[in-house]
Each structure stands twice: as structure tokens, then as C-alpha cells.
Structure 1
Amino acid sequence: MKEILIITNYFPPETGAASNRIFHLAEGLQKHNFKVSVVTPLPNYPTGRVFETYKGCFKASSTENNINVHRLWIYASNSKNKLLRLIAMLSYSFSLIWFFVWNKIPKTVIVQSPPLLVAFTSVLLLNSKKRKLILNVSDLWPIAGLELGALKKNLAYGFLEKIERFNYKNADLVLGQSEEILIHVNSIFPEKDTFLYRNYPDFNPTEIFETNQSKNKLKMVYAGLLGIAQGVYKLCQELDYSNIQLHIYGAGAEKNNIETLILNNPELDIIYHGEISRKELHQELITYDIAIIPLLNRIYGSVPSKIFEYARLGLPMIYFGGGEGENIIQKFQLGWIAKAGDYKDLNTVISKINTSNINKIYKKEIQKTAIDNFNFNTQLKSLIGIIQ
């Protein structure tokens, strides 16, 4: 049985796309006769506080779904203060160094990036001709940070670019969750081996049934991180509620602002449901007419995993983020697109949706498209063929 180690910043019981993606990868490899170990911080995302179960722990090891999980100490923080965020990343990097010193590391290692500093620590210390290092890139940093306004082009940015290049250069294989990521990597290192590894979900398709029989208003849902990048707070302010009712699930930095907005503006047809488990969320999502996937700014290299998850649920989408995600929606006819950042266009697109067309037949078509084209196991088998 071949051993493989996955180094990541996110893992269940943490919620969100990153956690789900790595869990499914680990579980999938385990089911294909790999002996899988995962190294991750003590759970703290998205609250920035170590979960109650793990408070007071320096480390915790367990076997979960036949996967060996090692949770290491981290100075947890989701503060907007850049220094505190840096300290949090460095603390996990130091814990990784301690782990590498005292544990035997397999010959195949998958390293999640970003965070760049954590990936750099892993690549720097584990780089060996006898070891295969696989860099799993889900977002392009520091470019994404620049587009989000979190970073500026200065000496610090140049330093992060050097780290990024070091990571790509010393990885034996780079996995990218979008074509744009692979294009970027190969523009720097043309000969680098790359593999498109999308964030496909792995769950049994749900039964499709009719929704919104009255068709008085379009029942639209947003589910996910309420962070700066998603811009859900601004979305709530800019939407025209004449023909829609917006339902929100999730948690994050904008949660309090959204709750205050709803409290102070009862005329806005918004219902906030809080955060629920992924299994519960799936049961809720299939009761809605349509989902919205917003990004405050178009982020090069980003393709929200919600596209593939919603498609498997048979849920039509409005995509409001530009880039490669927009192309996927159009190519596979998964819903509608609005110009990134143009709320007037978004409201126009929504107003033109014929609710009578959002029926069981249309939803089944979307689900079939997902089953045929966004298959987790087919993709995983292709990846295994490369890394074995």
C-alpha cells in the first residue's frame, strides 16, 4: 500500500470549499488503496478561534475514515490585521517544521497552496530527489491578493512572488483548479508538469422536484463564506427585490453587517439562516429556484467550487464573477451570467428570467450535465495514474 501525505490548512470539521476539497481527495485516495495521512492545523476556520473540542491542545492525532489526521498547534486568527495573519501562518509553519523533524515523511506529498508561506515551508524542507512533491494550487497568490485589494505592489509583494516561483519550480507536479492557474504556472515554467484538478464534489445526486409553484417571486439562495471576496453584503444592498426573495446561508467577516442590514431594512426581502452542516444544506438548496454565485471582483484563476456542487444538485445558477467560471456556466448551460461588478446588469438579467422555465425538466438536465462532465472519480483515477 503506497503512503501519501497531504499538507493543508483546512480540513473537517472545518467547513467550506477548501476543507471539502481536501477531504474528498484524501478519502478518494484512501479508497484506492493509498495509506493516507493528513497534516493540518487545529480546527479554527472560519471563526479564527480554535474549536471548543480542541482548546488547550498542542496537537491532536486521530484516525478518521481510515485516514490518519495530525492536527498541529496554530496561533488562530482571522483578523484583518496583516501582522496577526502573518503570525498565524508562521505559527503553523513552525509546527510543520517540528512535525517534519519528528516524523517519517512518505515519498509522495501533496501540499495545498495558498497559504504561500505554509507551502514554501513544506516545499523547502521536503524537496528531495527521492520524494515526489505535488503542489495543489487552488488560488493564485499573490495575484489574487492584489485583485482583492488585500495587497499592494511593493517589496512585500515582490517577496511573495519569489516564494510563489520557488514553490512552482521545486514541485514535481502542479495541480490547478482552473485552466487559468495552469496557464500562469506554465508561463513562468513552460516545462513544468501540470494537471487540471477541478473542485468536483463527491456525493450521490439528489432527487429533483418542482419548486416555487406559486411563481410569485424567484426564490434565490446564496450559500457559503460571507467574506470580503464574495461581496454578499454589497449584493444585499444592490439587488432589486421586486421579483426575488434572497436566502443566505453561511458565516464569515460580513455576517454582522448583513444581519444589521436586515434588521434595519425590513423592506428588503432577505432571510438569513445562519450556518448549517453540508448535508443539511444540500437538503435546503434543492428547495430553491436558483442560486447566485457572486464575486466582488473578478479574480484571475478562481473558479468557485459552488458551480460543480450546485450543478450536481440540479440547481440553476446566476454567475456574477467573470473569468473562467463564467465560461463554464455558458459552455454547459448551467444558468445565467451577469457582467462582473455591474449590479444594474445583474438586476436586468434577473428580471428577464422566466420562472416557468425553472422546472423539474431543466433541473434534471443540469444534474445530468454535472454527472456526465464533472465526475470526481474519473478525475481522481486520472490523477492516480500520474502520481503512482
Structure 2
Amino acid sequence: MISVLIITNYFPPETGAASNRIFHLAEGLQKHNYKVSVLTPLPNYPTGQIFENYKGKFKSSSIENNITIHRLWIYASNSKNKLLRLIAMLSYSFSLFWFFAWNKIPKTVIIQSPPLLVAFTSVFFLRSKKRKIILNVSDLWPIAGLELGAFKKNFSYKLLEKIERFNYKHADLVLGQSNEIINHVKSLFPEKDTFLYRNYPDFIVPEIPERAGSKGKLKMVYAGLLGIAQGIYKLCQELDYTHVQFHIYGAGAEREKIQTLISNNSELDIIYHNEISRDKLHEALLSYDLTIIPLLNRIYGSVPSKIFEYARLGLPMIYFGGGEGESIIKDYRLGWVAEAGNYNDLNTVISRVNPSDLKLNNRNRIIKIAIENFDFDKQLDALIEKV
């Protein structure tokens, strides 16, 4: 039995795309007869506070679904203060160094990036000719931070670029969740071994119930992180509610601003449902006409995992973020595309949605496309063969 260690910043019971992606990878490898262990911080995302069941602990180890999980101490914070965020990352890096010093590390290690500093710590201390380092890159930092306005091209940015290149250079294999990520890595290290590893979901495809279309307004839903990159607060302000009722599920930095906006503007047809479990969310999503996948700014390398999850649910999508995600929506005919950042175009697209495209036959068509093209097991088999 081959042992593999996965190092990640996010893991259940935390929610979100990153947590789900790593959980499915760990579970999939375990089912393929790998002995899987996971290194992750004590749960704290997205609140920035250690979850109640883990408070006061320096370390927590458990075996769940035959996977050994080591949860390490972190100074948890989701503060906008860059220094506090840096301290949080450095604290987890310190915990990783402590773990590496006192524990035997498997010959195969999968490291999640970003965060860059955590990935750097892992690559720096574990790189060895006798060990295979697999770097799983889900977003291109620091480029993404620059496009989001979090960074400026100064000394700190150049330092992060050097860290990024160090991580790629010393990885034996780089997994990228988009072709843009793969192309970026290849532009820096043309001979680097890479593999396109999308964030495909792994759940049983539900039976879509026959349902009557909404009378009057379309019921449009957003579910996920209410962070700066998604721009849900601005979206709430810019939508034309003549044709749509907007439903929101999730938590994050913009939640309070969104709730305040709703309470102070009763004319906005917005309903906030808080955050619910993934299973309950899947069930709830089936009752909506369509969903929206927005990004405040087009982020090079980013392909929202919601595309693949919603396709498996048969949920028609409006994509409002540009880049590679836009191409996937168009190529597989999964819904509609509005020009990134153009809210007038978005409102026009919504007003022109044909109700016939929301019916059961089209939803089943989308599910069929997802089963044929976004299959988690086939992708994992190809990755295992490569590894």
C-alpha cells in the first residue's frame, strides 16, 4: 500500500470549494488503496475563529473514513489587516515545520497552493530526490492578488514571485485546475511535468423533479463564499429586479454589508438564507430557475468549481466572470455568459432568458454533459496512472 500525505489549508468540517476539492481527492485516493494522511489547520474557515469543538487544542488527530487527519495549531484570523493575515500563515507554517521535525513523512506528498507561504514551507523542508512532491495549484498567486487589488508591484510582490517560482521549480509534478494555470507554469518552466486536474465534484446525480417554471420573475440563486472576489454586495446593488428575484446562500466578509443593504432597501427583491450544509444546499438549489457565478474582476487562471457542481445538478448558469470559465459555459452550452464587469449586459442577458431553457429536458441535458465530461473518477484514474 502506497502512503501519501496531503498538506492543505482547508479541510472539512470547513466548507467551500477548496475544502471539498481536497476531501474528494483524499477520499478518492483512499478508495484506490492508498494510505492517506492529511495535514491541515484546526478548522477556522471562513469565520477566522477556531471551531467550537477544537478550541483550546494545540493539535487534534483522528481517523475519518480510513483517512488519518492531523489538525495543527494556527493563529486564526480573517482580518483585512495584512500583518495579521501574514501572522496566521506563518503560524501554520511553524506548526508544519514542527510536525515535519517529529514525524516520518511519506515518500509522496501532495501540497495545496495557495497559500504560497504554506506551500513554500512544505516544499522547502520536504524536497528530496527520494520524495515525490506534487503541487496542486488552484489559483495563480501572486498574480490573482494583483488583479484583485490586494497587491502592488513592489518588493513584497517580487518576493512572492520568487516564492512561487521556487515552489514550481522543486515540484516533481504540478496539478493545475485550469489550462491558464498550466500554461503559466510552462511559461516559467517549459520542461515541468504538469497535469490538468479540474475541481470536479463527487456526488450522486439527483433525480431532477418535474416542476412548473416560476410565474413572473425568475428565481436566481447564488451559493458560496461572500468574499471580495465574488462581488456579491455590488451585484445586489446593480441587478435590475424587474425580471429576477435574487436568493443568496453563504457566509464571508461581505455578509453583514449584504444583510444591511437588504434591511435598508426593501424594494430590492433579495432573500438571504444564511449558510447551510452542502447536502441541504443541493436539495435547495433544485427549486431555483437558474444560478449566477460572478467574479468582481476577471482573474487569470481561475475557473470556479461551481461550474462543474451545478452542471451535475442540472442547474442552468449565468456566468459573469470572463476567462476560461466563460469558455467552458459556451463550449458545453451550460447557460448564458455576460461580459465580465458589465452590469448592463448582465441585466440584458437575464431579461432575455428563455423560459423553455429552464425546463426539465434542458436540465437533464446539462446533467448528461456533466456525467460525460466532468467525471471525477475518470480524472482521478488518469492522475493515479501519471503519479
TM-score by length of 2: 0.99
Measured in 1, the distance between the counterparts of 2:133 and 2:60 equals 25
Q: Which position in structure 1 is the counterpart of 2:363?
A: 363
Measured in 1, the distance between the counterparts of 2:185 and 2:35 equals 29
Q: Are positions 1:49 and 2:49 aligned together?
A: yes
The gaps in structure 2 that reach 5 residues or longer are none
Q: Which position in structure 1 is the counterpart of 2:121?
A: 121
Measured in 1, the distance between the counterparts of 2:113 and 2:212 equals 41
Q: Are 1:297 and 1:321, in contact at CA under 8 Å, matched by a contact in 2?
A: yes
Measured in 2, the distance between the counterparts of 1:278 and 1:271 equals 19
Q: Secondary structure at the match of 2:303?
A: coil
Q: Which position in structure 1 is the counterpart of 2:384?
A: 384
> Which letter does structure 2 place at the counterpart of 1:123?
V
Deviations 1:176-197 (A, max 9, x none): 0000000000000000000000
Deviations 1:246-305 (A, max 9, x none): 000000000000000100011111000000000000000111110000000000000000
1:216 deviation in Å? 1.2
The within-5 A match list for 1:265-284 is 265-284=265-284
Percentage of pairs with the same residue: 76
> Which letter does structure 2 place at the counterpart of 1:157?
Y
Deviations 1:145-172 (A, max 9, x none): 0000000000000000000000000000
Deviations 1:19-60 (A, max 9, x none): 000000000000000000000000000000000000000000
C-alpha root-mean-square deviation of aligned residues, in Å? 0.6
Q: Are 2:213 and 2:289, in contact at CA under 8 Å, matched by a contact in 1?
A: no
Cα gap change, 1:214 to 1:222, in 2 (>3 Å): closer
TM-score by length of 1: 0.99
Measured in 2, the distance between the counterparts of 1:224 and 1:108 equals 32
Q: Are 2:213 and 2:359, in contact at CA under 8 Å, matched by a contact in 1?
A: no
> Which letter does structure 2 place at the counterpart of 1:48?
G
1:370 deviation in Å? 0.2
Q: Which position in structure 2 is the counterpart of 1:144?
A: 144
Measured in 2, the distance between the counterparts of 1:106 and 1:231 equals 41
1:212 deviation in Å? 4.6
Deviations 1:100-144 (A, max 9, x none): 001000000000000000000000000000000000000000000
Measured in 2, the distance between the counterparts of 1:241 and 1:211 equals 23
Q: Are positions 1:73 and 2:73 aligned together?
A: yes
The within-5 A match list for 1:281-360 is 281-360=281-360
Q: Are 2:262 and 2:270, in contact at CA under 8 Å, matched by a contact in 1?
A: yes
Q: Secondary structure at the match of 1:191?
A: coil
Measured in 1, the distance between the counterparts of 2:308 and 2:67 equals 25
Measured in 2, the distance between the counterparts of 1:365 and 1:210 equals 14
Q: Secondary structure at the match of 1:213?
A: coil
> Which letter does structure 1 place at the counterpart of 2:117?
L
Deviations 1:335-372 (A, max 9, x none): 00000000000000000111233100000000000000
Cα gap change, 1:210 to 1:128, in 2 (>3 Å): same
Q: Are 1:212 and 1:219, in contact at CA under 8 Å, matched by a contact in 2?
A: no
1:208 deviation in Å? 1.1
Q: Secondary structure at the match of 2:209?
A: coil
Measured in 1, the distance between the counterparts of 2:371 and 2:218 equals 26
Measured in 2, the distance between the counterparts of 1:40 and 1:150 equals 25
The within-5 A match list for 1:211-230 is 211-230=211-230
Cα gap change, 1:177 to 1:185, in 2 (>3 Å): same
Q: Secondary structure at the match of 1:380?
A: helix
1:86 deviation in Å? 0.2
Measured in 2, the distance between the counterparts of 1:355 and 1:296 equals 27
The within-5 A match list for 1:84-163 is 84-163=84-163
Q: Which position in structure 2 is the counterpart of 1:23?
A: 23
Q: Are 1:321 and 1:339, in contact at CA under 8 Å, matched by a contact in 2?
A: yes
Q: Which position in structure 2 is the counterpart of 1:255?
A: 255
Q: Are 1:175 and 1:197, in contact at CA under 8 Å, matched by a contact in 2?
A: yes
> Which letter does structure 2 place at the counterpart of 1:134?
I
Measured in 2, the distance between the counterparts of 1:309 and 1:256 equals 27
For these two proteins, the number of residue pairs brought into alignment is 387
> Which letter does structure 2 place at the counterpart of 1:109?
V
Q: Are 2:5 and 2:38, in contact at CA under 8 Å, matched by a contact in 1?
A: yes
Measured in 1, the distance between the counterparts of 2:136 and 2:46 equals 21
1:214 deviation in Å? 4.2
The gaps in structure 1 that reach 5 residues or longer are none
Q: Are 2:221 and 2:291, in contact at CA under 8 Å, matched by a contact in 1?
A: yes
The within-5 A match list for 1:159-174 is 159-174=159-174
Q: Which position in structure 2 is the counterpart of 1:11?
A: 11
Measured in 1, the distance between the counterparts of 2:214 and 2:281 equals 23
Q: Secondary structure at the match of 2:87?
A: helix
The within-5 A match list for 1:203-214 is 203-214=203-214
Measured in 2, the distance between the counterparts of 1:285 and 1:303 equals 21
Deviations 1:54-92 (A, max 9, x none): 000000000011000000000000000000000000000
